């Protein structure tokens, strides 16, 4: 290794280290806030040494009026959102990846455009719609509303995963007389299982993080 490459590598590590400090320090500070005694949280200037305590965790998980049930709600809603989303998005992603048809580009961009709709603008209409249909306060209402986010997102991500699967396998199955549905269910989707898992994880995080839909 020449001295020039060594110098270059040191520079790369140094810049990357500064970037990591910038991105990781706030998280470390947040963790420190969670485990420090409350009366030391707002000392000015900031205090860096303290005796750690888990009181805050006990308070939100165990104490009366704790937030544990809300945690369960979040898990149920985000989990169901992912489960409902796959039967809709997986066939669409397969069709968009494997078939050529007119208007495909516009359809892809339409899905993308949905991801960009201002969520706050839809709150009141959804609130009134959900109340009229008699679904207010149910998990189903929240799960349905989240599909406007999770379906477009999953279609895009899954399509890119299916694009990577070699089409020769599907052709072989076709030549052997399998129908397209059989090909999709028995060959393509099992092959993109890692992609489906990744997509589900991201959709879960999307649904989990989506605060505005909580008003429904």
Partner 1 sequence: MSASLRPFDRIAPRRQWLPYLPILLIAPSVVLLLALIAYPLAFALRNSFYFWNLQAAAEPLGFIGLDNYRRVLTSVDFLASLRNTVVLATVGAAIEFCLGLSIALLLNAALPGMAIARALLILPTTIAPIVVGFLFRYLYDPGAGLIPWFLRAIFVPVPSQGLLGSQWTALASVMAADVWQWTPFFAIVLYAGLLSVPAEIIEAARLDRASAWTMLVRIRLPLIRRTAAIVLMLRFMQLFNTFDPVLVLTRGGPGTSSRTLGYSLYELGLVQFNIGLASAMTWIVVIIVNAFIASYVFFAFRNEDW
Map the footprint of partner 1 across residues 88-147, applying CB under 8 A. Answer: 88-89, 91-92, 94-96, 98-101, 104-105, 107-109, 111-126, 128-129, 144-145, 147
Q: Where are the alpha helices (DSSP H) in the chain?
A: 3-35, 55-61, 68-98, 104-115, 123-133, 139-164, 167-175, 180-182, 189-191, 193-209
**Shortest CB 27 distance to partner 1, Å:** 6
Q: Pick the stretch among 50-58, 64-72, 170-178, 191-199 that binds partner 1 (CB under 8 A).
A: 170-178
136: left (phi over 0), alpha (psi -120 to 50) or beta: beta
Q: Pick the stretch among 9-17, 53-61, 135-143, 191-199 that binds partner 1 (CB under 8 A).
A: 9-17
Residues 139, 74, 31: CA angle, nearest 5 degrees: 165
Rounded to whole angstroms, the Cα distance separating 76 from 176 reads: 42
Structure tokens at 186: 């028995």
Taking the least distance from each CB to partner 1, the nearer of 64 and 118 is: 118
b vs e for 164-178, b when ≥16 Cβ sit within 10 Å of the residue's Cβ? ebeeeebeebeeeeb
Taking the least distance from each CB to partner 1, the nearer of 77 and 155 is: 155
Taking the least distance from each CB to partner 1, the nearer of 53 and 212 is: 212
Taking the least distance from each CB to partner 1, the nearer of 31 and 66 is: 31
Taking the least distance from each CB to partner 1, the nearer of 6 and 68 is: 6
**Shortest CB 54 distance to partner 1, Å:** 19
Site string for partner 1, 181-200 (x = CB under 8 A): ---x----------------
155 binds partner 1 (CB under 8 A): yes
Footprint (CB under 8 A) of partner 1, residues 47-86 = none
Q: Are 150 and 207 in contact (CB under 8 A)?
A: yes
């Amino acid at each position: 290794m020449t001295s020039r490459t060594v110098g270059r590598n040191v520079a790369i590590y140094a810049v990357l280290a500064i970037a990591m400090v910038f991105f990781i320090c706030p998280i470390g500070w947040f963790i420190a806030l969670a485990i420090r005694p409350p009366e030391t949280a707002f000392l000015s200037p900031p205090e860096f040494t303290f005796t750690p305590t888990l009181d805050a965790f006990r308070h939100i998980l165990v104490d009366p009026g704790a937030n544990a049930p809300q945690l369960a709600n979040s898990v149920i809603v985000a989990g169901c959102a992912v489960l409902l989303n796959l039967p809709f998005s997986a066939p669409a992603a397969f069709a968009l990846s494997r078939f050529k048809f007119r208007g495909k580009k516009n359809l892809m961009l339409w899905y993308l455009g949905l991801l960009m709709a201002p969520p706050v603008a839809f709150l009141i209409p959804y609130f009134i719609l959900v109340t009229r249909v008699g679904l207010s306060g149910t998990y189903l209402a929240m799960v349905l509303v989240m599909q406007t986010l999770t379906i477009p997102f999953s279609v895009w991500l899954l399509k890119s995963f299916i694009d990577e699967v070699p089409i020769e396998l599907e052709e072989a199955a076709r030549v052997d007389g399998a129908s397209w549905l059989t090909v999709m269910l028995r060959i393509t989707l099992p092959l993109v299982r890692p992609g489906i898992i990744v997509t589900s994880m991201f959709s879960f995080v999307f649904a989990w993080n989506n605060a505005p839909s909580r008003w429904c």
